[in-house]
Structure 1
């Protein structure tokens, strides 16, 4: 955002109240997207697309590891299947969190 565009913004939105967990999650997502909390909240409210600044290589590596984990899960014949399933869930959640 250029300085002149920033100076044209004269409106002010009041602070919002939220739970600590919500605050932490919003701050984390804003950080992942390389934005301030205010910029992130405004973008979200106006349904603008936000993009994570985290390298797509990280997402691809997580997907690769998930594929390997799934392979071990199917080859394990039930041995440690609960543990494999838990790891797959965690990998999937990590990908979702990264992919703003």
Structure 2
């Protein structure tokens, strides 16, 4: 009996949320066919692509009430966190800034953190 070769992971491909989702859940066992109007089908495919999910994964998440995050939101959160980290390094350790300047700096930094938290809550 000849065994089938194991799939080889592509080292150039990053793991996606879809890969993680499939690894942590039971494997799908039932197949469902759905009839779509052409426009509705295209809209759902577009939404799935915007989230970086396959059509099946997107529909499963939507119907089961699970979180669906667009790639744009994920990218925005990551970028805002990166900017916040860089901004923290710009704060002078010496007393060259006036108290007013320091207060404005920290107010801006806290606003940035609030934006990140607001986006995360919306997800």
RCO comparison, higher one (Cα < 8 Å, 6+):
1
* Structure with greater helix share of residues: 1
TM-score w.r.t. length of structure 2: 0.40
Q: Determine which structure has more spread, i.e. the larger CA radius of gyration.
A: 2
